Amino acid sequence: MKKIWNIQEIKTLFKKPFLELIFEAQKIHRKHFNPSEIQISTLLSIKTGLCPEDCKYCAQSSRYKTNIKVEKLLKIDEIIEKAKQAKQSGSDRFCMGAAWKHPKERDMPYLIKIIQEVKKLGLETCMTLGSLNDSQAQQLYDAGLDFYNHNLDTSPKVYKKIITTRTYQDRLNTLNIIQKTGIKICSGGILGLGEKTHDRAELLMQLANLKKIPDSIPINMLVNIKGTPMENNKKINTFDFIKTIAVARIMMPQSYIRLSAGRENMSKNMQTMCFIAGVNSIFYGCKLLTTNNPKQKDDLQLFQQLGLYPKKKIIYNKNLKNINTLNTKMINNTSKYYNAIMN
């Protein structure tokens, strides 16, 4: 029977001593996942800028003067080439985002074709296109879409302060529409919007109490983008960020928790603590829609230092020597990790 969380239970988790909380999260993580394995996704913006929404953190909103380059819908051939590169670099899921409030009916054949072509490459597919109606969601499902990303961002209270063009209930309704088709949900939030611990607890409660818990939960750290109303927001405390990861892992033990936007601004030590707290997925590549991401060679070096390996074997040796040997060694050692559950 699915557990229904209440806010007091979640606040109690947040109040736990840091080391005790991290240890509990790591034990739960090891019960459900191989702690050495990382799921890797690549994210591509297929339509950039001029979004009618007013999300105060976003560079793509037409309301703010940012330095992004506005781009119309990419040609399908361009997208497929990017997907091939993503697979070659080790990603097993290709995510595509369009800066829309919602797709129009005239866009559906284009989206369907993209899904079908990317699937032919042997990659999982994910899209984030804004709100969907029942017909659109069904069409994407029929085309073979595996995941749909639609973040809740934060608590209902804070949400009202950062977005006025779409209600919190609108987002919940879209998630419900998507889940009814059978498409897997990717939904998470952004930390550093000015929220308090109570708001982080409420965000996790909303996600955990959905009819079906999201299969994938991206946790973003706010990137302060010049020209947006949040360009001067105070950076979230490192320990508060990691604690939120740990609580998410405890509450949603079978979901993949993805370290998403803001990773370029995280030290290797911070990323390492996030992996210990329960992160087992990242976005790979130099850019996430419009924000920078760590270089691939830096991620590979971190994986080597931590003994992590991707779900799919990486074929890449331009900037990091002996990477194929490295992957072979890590894959051969997958059964040699310490099992905290048995101790």
Which string of DSSP letters, residue by residue, matches 215-278? Answer: SEEEEEEPP--TTSTTTTPPPPPHHHHHHHHHHHHHHSTTSEEEE-TTGGGS-HHHHHHHHHHT
Is the pLDDT at 311 greater than 90? The verdict is: no
Inside any domain, residue 343: no
How many C-beta atoms surround the C-beta of residue 253 within 10 A? 15
Total number of domains constituting the chain: 1
The mean of the pLDDT values for the chain is 87
Q: Is the pLDDT of residue 317 over 50?
A: no
The answer to whether residue 120 is domain-embedded is yes
Report if residue 104 sits inside a domain: yes
Is 55 known to sit in a ligand binding site?
Answer: yes
Does 58 appear as a known binding residue? yes
- Structure-block tokens of residue 76: 């399908």
CATH code of 288's domain: 3.20.20.70
pLDDT tens digits for range 264-308:
889 999 999 999 999 999 987 645 445 566 677 788 888 889 999
258 is an annotated ligand-binding site residue: yes
In what helix (H) or strand (E) does residue 41 lie, and over which residues does it extend?
strand 37-47
In a domain, 93, yes or no: yes
Residue-number span of the structural domain to which 236 is assigned: 7-310
Residue 198 in this model has a pLDDT that exceeds 80: yes
3-state secondary structure of 335: coil
**Does the residue 113 lie in any domain?**
yes
- Tell me which residues are annotated as active site: 51, 55, 58, 95, 126, 186, 258
pTM of the model: 0.86
> Per the domain annotation, does 335 fall within a domain?
no
Give CA 307 to chain center in angstroms: 22
What would the pLDDT profile of 333-343 be if each residue is shown by its tens digit?
434 333 433 33
Q: Which among 258, 95, 120, 283 has a CA at the least distance from the CA of 189? A: 258
Tokens of 113: 């074709």
Kindly state whether residue 258 falls inside one of the protein's structural domains: yes
Rounded CA gap, 22 and 242, in Å? 8
Residue with tokens 């690549």: 42
286 marked as part of a ligand binding site: no
Q: How far apart are CA 287 and CA 281, in angstroms?
A: 16
